[in-house]
């Protein structure tokens, strides 16, 4: 593949891991493009105004466009009023209604001159449309209308958010030269819509093994994350008999997942005589620190510390599924297997090294088997097979051929 000058458009800065899994994906895609010899610069839909260098690449943002307005009642009312007089969905209005949106579009129009534009995530595609720049390829993180159908609150449903978003999504995706979906399942759905979509594997790299692998932290009266470090137990390292969950507790799917894990799954494990402990990491997980089997909660300064402390990560999803889970991929990079529902396994790789369960009873049964056998799937071999070559092969059909 010949070298290109690429304008890579993201939802938020690559270093903002705290805002979600989008930056985790985008960092790997940018590194893959750079390693192949392409010149990449990043334009962020949201972020601080100006220019900075981070994650090995120059990034720019016009500022003044927030990522979320859920807690801004004035803005929410303004969007609701605007929706009554237009056909745009909330997921468009929440960005386009801000005063800084024209400046963001102007920045992209300026920086895209003479460059191949790749967009990653819904806000990036929306901004490219506002800037009236051609999009060579778009990375679809989810089918956004499927997310809305599952999680849109009642007031938005009453305003017709789901059909509005479905129409807008089909139209915008249809304007991209090619669509690369992170989920194999989503790629199939988009092809059924008549959109030429292919699956884009995310390149993975196995994390280096720690010099002294951790074992589960002993139970202490201080359950909050990192409050009371506990030295490793004097025994041979082995897979920790600790189940982990990582994610912002306030996001509705995560809230539901935590309730399931510490409720019916935990009760069933107790009936089965399986005394696993839980480590819950992420903003808001402190709220469940008083659970009898929770040994640590809260934000994590070092993500590798979380994965060293757990032997299995659970990624429960209920209802319709779209996209992939960055947490499954991140856990695999760190050598930790994941318990996932079958739709998520199919979206990432149906032949992958997953433990699969679709309801709370089967989740408890799978955890019990893992706990008794203390044997985990070989995630390391799977990770080593997910190299950048597959990603570049997918991108090869998006980027134009240039003269050497």
CATH homologous superfamily of 242-385? Glycogen Phosphorylase B; (3.40.50.2000)
Q: What's the rounded Cα separation, in Å, for the pair 76 and 196?
A: 35
Q: What's the rounded Cα separation, in Å, for the pair 81 and 120?
A: 29
Query: pLDDT by residue (tens digit) across 221-250?
Result: 444 454 444 444 344 445 678 999 998 888
Beta carbons of 62 and 103 less than 8 angstroms apart: yes
DSSP letter for each residue of 89-146: -HHHHHHHTSTTHHHHHHHHHHHTTTSEEEEESHHHHHHHHHHT---SEEEESS-HHH
- What architecture is the 5-203+387-396 domain classified under in CATH? 3-Layer(aba) Sandwich (3.40)
| pTM (two decimals) | 0.84
- Among the listed residues 380, 267, 252, 223, the one whose alpha carbon sits nearest the alpha carbon of residue 316: 252
Question: What pLDDT sits at residue 347?
Answer: 93
Question: What pLDDT sits at residue 223?
Answer: 44
Q: Where are the beta strands (DSSP E) in 169-253?
A: 178-181, 197-199, 242-246
Is the pLDDT assigned to residue 403 strictly greater than 70?
no
- Among the listed residues 386, 297, 374, 372, the one whose alpha carbon sits nearest the alpha carbon of residue 337: 374
Across residues 95-106, what is the average pLDDT? Answer: 89
Q: Which residue has the tokens 């590194």?
A: 31
> With 0-12 CB in 10 A as exposed, 13-18 as middle and 19+ as buried, what is 74?
exposed
Question: What pLDDT sits at residue 265?
Answer: 95
Q: Which residue has the tokens 């996209």?
A: 323
Is the pLDDT assigned to residue 158 strictly greater than 80?
yes
CATH 3.40.50.2000 residue window(s) in the chain: 5-203+387-396, 242-385
Is the pLDDT assigned to residue 59 strictly greater than 70?
yes
Question: What pLDDT sits at residue 69?
Answer: 67
Query: pLDDT by residue (tens digit) across 103-156?
Result: 999 999 999 999 999 999 999 999 999 999 999 999 999 999 998 898 888 888
Query: pLDDT by residue (tens digit) across 241-291?
Result: 899 999 888 877 788 889 999 999 999 999 999 999 999 998 889 988 889
387 or 353: which leads in pLDDT: 353
Question: What pLDDT sits at residue 222?
Answer: 43
Terminal CA-CA length for the chain: 9
Is the pLDDT assigned to residue 211 strictly greater than 60?
no
Question: What pLDDT sits at residue 244?
Answer: 93
pLDDT > 90 in the chain, percent: 54
Per-residue confidence band for 376, with pLDDT thresholds at 50, 70 and 90:
confident
Across residues 44-68, what is the average pLDDT? Answer: 89
Q: What's the rounded Cα separation, in Å, for the pair 21 and 83?
A: 29
């Amino acid at each position: 593949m010949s070298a290109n000058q690429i304008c890579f458009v993201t939802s938020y800065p690559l270093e903002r891991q705290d805002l979600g899994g989008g930056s985790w994906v985008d960092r790997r895609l940018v590194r893959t493009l750079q390693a192949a010899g392409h010149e990449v610069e990043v334009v962020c839909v949201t972020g601080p105004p100006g220019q900075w260098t981070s994650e090995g690449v120059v990034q720019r943002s016009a500022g003044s466009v927030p990522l979320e307005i859920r807690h801004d009642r004035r803005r929410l009312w303004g969007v609701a009023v605007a929706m009554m007089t237009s056909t745009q969905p909330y997921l468009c209005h929440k960005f386009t209604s801000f005063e800084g949106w024209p400046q963001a579009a102007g920045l992209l129009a300026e920086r895209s001159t003479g460059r191949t534009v790749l967009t990653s995530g819904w806000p990036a595609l929306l901004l490219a449309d506002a800037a009236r720049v051609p999009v060579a390829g778009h990375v679809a993180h989810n089918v956004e209308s499927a997310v809305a159908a599952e999680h849109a609150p009642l007031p938005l449903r009453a305003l017709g958010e789901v059909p509005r978003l479905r129409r807008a999504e089909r139209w915008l995706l249809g304007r991209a030269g090619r669509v690369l979906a992170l989920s194999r399942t989503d790629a199939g759905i988009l092809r059924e819509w008549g959109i030429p979509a292919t699956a884009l594997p995310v390149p993975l790299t196995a994390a280096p093994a720690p010099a002294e692998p951790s074992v589960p932290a002993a139970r202490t009266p201080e359950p909050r994350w990192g409050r009371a470090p506990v030295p490793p137990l004097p025994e041979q390292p082995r897979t920790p008999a600790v189940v982990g969950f990582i994610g912002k507790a306030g996001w509705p799917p995560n809230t539901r997942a935590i309730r399931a894990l510490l409720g019916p799954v935990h009760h069933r494990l107790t009936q089965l005589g399986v005394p696993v402990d839980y480590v819950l990491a992420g903003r808001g997980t402190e709220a469940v620190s008083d659970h009898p089997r929770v040994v640590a909660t809260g934000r994590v300064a070092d993500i590798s510390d979380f994965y060293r402390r757990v032997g299995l990560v659970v990624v429960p999803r209920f209802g319709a599924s779209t996209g992939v889970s960055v947490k499954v991929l991140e856990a695999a990079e760190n050598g930790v297997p994941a318990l996932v529902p079958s739709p998520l396994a199919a979206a990432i790789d149906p032949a992958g090294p997953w433990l699969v369960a679709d309801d709370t009873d089967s989740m408890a049964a799978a955890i019990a088997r893992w706990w008794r056998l203390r044997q985990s799937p070989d995630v390391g071999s799977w990770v080593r097979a997910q190299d950048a070559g597959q990603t570049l092969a997918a991108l090869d059909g998006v980027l134009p051929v240039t003269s050497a």
